[in-house]
């Protein structure tokens, strides 16, 4: 297709920073509107629905699960559609429409059914922004910088996680529902403007056949980037074995002895597979244990985030008799470490590989989660002391959440790119990356779905302290699986094998 007249502002609208800003604001808006009602939900259910106190926790968990359940259902179809469309901006805008409808229903809904539908629409929008948005990021920066960029974006959007519960609590107390959802509407307007203006790299290149624009210096397809995706640079242990220098020569002699002679053969999809595999070859990639564990990391990460979202407001109300504002303020302690350490953790993933971050991050969270039982035992001599202790322990958990923020996406992208390179043309012009992030969104949303239900039930049945022991055990198992599979098997298993 030929374009004669480029659109106004092509250079800055297709600029890398502008594209990444648009994606980041879209993710920020999704999480902000998700978190805006977290501290308000218990009070909304009691005031609007006249629910008894002993039913509030289960209904809060159910509404959080409805959001994530919709993401589970729609993530894969959205990924397939996004990989087959000429531009990712169209589904990106459709997702925003669903989010707008959800916000209006939350603002004016007076019955439980409307609240449930609103959360389902929010979940559908989330499936779009996390599937299409992450594919746009990879299209724009390539795999070699993915960890750093994802870490930075996640740190920025953690401001939404931090600010939303706080502002939701403040506005609800001072202005009621009008102030809460008025702020959400303003943010939606900004998000809409950015999504309308953005132009993807591959679209911009069609206006500039001689590639004279500065934006054309960057490839618009992940398979055109070097670095992490080159089979010569596959890591054999927890370190980054030379991928950072771009040519894969670091520790090259050792790698040549340990790796198969032709890595492409390992990732080549054989002929004669059933029709489903040939139609959606991304399914064949799921046979790779590295990819399965990478998706597990996303599931557990979401499970942990949902656990905090579902239990902090109710536990704060139970322990300290906090209202919506005070419960929202507790999220500051959890999110500030995430904000500060996210870019650093993402840089470490790019430099040292995914295995150290995954193993250390999930391993670190084991004692951090167990320690959350201390405030419930009132180990401090005063209530103020217990509040300070609870905030400090939440901050410790925030450090762990920052570390586990990017390994899943980077690891999954690394594995799928190897299949893409080993099977030219099989995955289409732009590869299977939106489909991959559809699966990532599916498992992440499944974690958001299961987390509130399981941990909410555990809190009601065995108490908050014992609930956190169960969650810590899940984190410990994830750390073990990360050690065995993420970034490839540990060196000692290769040497003994």
The CATH number of whichever domain residue 362 belongs to comes to 1.20.1250.20
pLDDT of residue 246: 39
475 belongs to a structural domain:
yes
Confidence check: pLDDT of 130 > 70: yes
- DSSP result, 252-297: HHHHHHHS-S-HHHHHPPPTT--HHHHH-THHHHTTSHHHHHHHHH
pLDDT of residue 92: 81
Compare 198 and 106 and report the one with higher pLDDT.
Answer: 198
14 belongs to a structural domain:
yes
Closest CA to 464 of 388, 384, 371: 371
Count of structural domains, the chain = 1
Q: Which CA distances in Å does 403 have to 190, 264, 289, 304, 406?
A: 30, 31, 22, 13, 7
- DSSP result, 24-68: HHHHHHHHHHHHHTTTTHHHHHHHHH---HHHHHHHHHHHHHHHH
List Cβ neighbours of 289 (8 Å cut-off, separation of 6 or more).
485
Residue indicated by tokens 């039930």: 457
219 belongs to a structural domain:
no
Number of residues written out for the chain: 497
d(CA 314, CA 57) in angstroms, rounded, equals 7
The CA-to-CA distance between both ends of the chain, in Å, stands at: 53
Compare 419 and 262 and report the one with higher pLDDT.
Answer: 419
pLDDT of residue 262: 59
31 belongs to a structural domain:
yes
- For the whole model, what pTM was predicted? 0.74
Question: The tokens of 381 are what?
Answer: 């001599």
Neighbours of 480 (CB within 10 A): 13
101 pLDDT band, cuts 50/70/90, is confident
Question: The tokens of 325 are what?
Answer: 């504002």
pLDDT of residue 475: 95
pLDDT of residue 400: 93
pLDDT of residue 125: 87
Compare 4 and 477 and report the one with higher pLDDT.
Answer: 477
d(CA 151, CA 342) in angstroms, rounded, equals 5
Q: Are 430 and 35 in contact (CB under 8 A)?
A: no
117 belongs to a structural domain:
yes
pLDDT of residue 347: 85
pLDDT of residue 357: 92
Q: Are 234 and 411 in contact (CB under 8 A)?
A: no
pLDDT of residue 283: 81
Give percent of the chain with pLDDT exceeding 70. 81
Instruction: Find the mean pLDDT for residues 189-196.
Output: 89
Question: The tokens of 303 are what?
Answer: 């499970």
Dump pLDDT digits (tens) for 65-83.
Answer: 787 778 778 888 888 787 7
Compare 229 and 3 and report the one with higher pLDDT.
Answer: 3
**Least reliable range by pLDDT among 207-221, 339-353, 369-383:** 207-221
232 pLDDT band, cuts 50/70/90, is very low
277 pLDDT band, cuts 50/70/90, is low
114 pLDDT band, cuts 50/70/90, is confident
Domain that holds residue 196: 10-200+283-496
pLDDT of residue 477: 96
Dump pLDDT digits (tens) for 432-451.
Answer: 777 888 888 888 878 877 88
d(CA 70, CA 62) in angstroms, rounded, equals 12
Dump pLDDT digits (tens) for 378-418.
Answer: 777 788 888 999 999 999 999 999 899 889 988 988 888 88
Measured CA angle at 450 (ends 449, 453), to 5 deg: 100
**Least reliable range by pLDDT among 246-255, 282-291, 312-321, 343-352:** 246-255
pLDDT of residue 129: 85
The alpha carbon dihedral of 226, 232, 237, 241 has a sign of negative
């Amino acid at each position: 297709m030929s374009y004669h007249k480029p659109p106004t502002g092509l250079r800055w609208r297709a600029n890398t920073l502008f594209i990444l800003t648009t994606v980041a604001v879209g993710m920020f808006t999704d999480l902000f509107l998700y978190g805006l009602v977290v501290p308000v939900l218990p009070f909304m259910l009691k005031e609007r629905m006249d629910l008894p106190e002993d039913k509030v926790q289960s209904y809060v968990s159910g509404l959080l699960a409805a959001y994530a359940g919709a993401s589970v259902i729609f993530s894969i179809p959205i990924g397939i559609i996004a990989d087959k469309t000429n531009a990712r901006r169209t589904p990106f805008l459709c997702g925003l429409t669903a989010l707008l409808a959800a916000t209006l229903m939350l603002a004016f809904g007076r019955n439980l059914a409307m609240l449930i539908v609103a959360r389902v629409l929010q979940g559908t929008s989330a499936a779009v922004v996390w599937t299409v948005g992450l594919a746009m990021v990879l299209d724009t920066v390539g795999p070699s910088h993915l960890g750093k960029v994802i870490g930075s974006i996640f740190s920025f959007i953690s401001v939404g996680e931090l600010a939303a519960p706080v502002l939701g609590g403040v506005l609800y107390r001072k202005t009621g529902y009008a102030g809460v959802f008025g702020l959400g509407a303003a943010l939606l307007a900004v998000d809409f403007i950015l999504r309308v203006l953005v132009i993807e790299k591959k679209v911009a290149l069609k206006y500039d056949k001689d590639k004279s624009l500065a934006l054309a210096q960057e490839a618009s397809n992940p398979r055109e980037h070097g670095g992490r995706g080159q089979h010569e640079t596959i890591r054999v242990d927890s370190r980054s074995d030379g991928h950072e220098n771009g040519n894969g020569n670091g520790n090259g002699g050792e790698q040549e002895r340990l790796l198969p002679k032709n890595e492409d053969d390992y990732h080549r999809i054989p002929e004669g597979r059933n029709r489903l595999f040939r139609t959606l070859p991304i399914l064949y990639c799921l046979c790779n244990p590295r990819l399965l564990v990478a998706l597990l990391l996303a599931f557990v990460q979401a499970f942990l985030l949902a656990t905090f979202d579902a239990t902090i407001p109710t536990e704060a109300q139970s322990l300290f008799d906090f209202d919506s504002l005070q419960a929202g303020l507790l999220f500051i302690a959890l999110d500030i470490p995430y904000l500060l350490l996210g870019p650093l953790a993402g840089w470490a993933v790019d430099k040292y590989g995914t295995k150290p971050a995954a193993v250390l991050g999930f391993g670190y969270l084991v004692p951090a989660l167990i320690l959350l039982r201390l405030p419930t035992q009132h180990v401090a001599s005063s209530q103020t002391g217990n509040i300070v202790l609870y905030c400090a322990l939440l901050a410790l958990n925030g450090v762990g959440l920052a570390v586990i923020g990017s390994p899943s996406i980077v690891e999954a992208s690394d594995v799928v790119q190897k299949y893409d390179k080993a099977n030219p043309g099989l995955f289409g012009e732009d590869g299977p990356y939106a489909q991959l992030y559809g699966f990532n969104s599916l498992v992440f949303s499944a974690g958001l779905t299961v987390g509130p239900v399981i941990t909410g039930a555990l809190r009601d049945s065995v108490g908050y302290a014992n609930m956190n022991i169960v969650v810590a055990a899940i984190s410990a198992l994830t750390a073990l699986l990360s050690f065995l599979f993420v970034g490839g098997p540990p060196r000692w298993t290769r040497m003994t094998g």
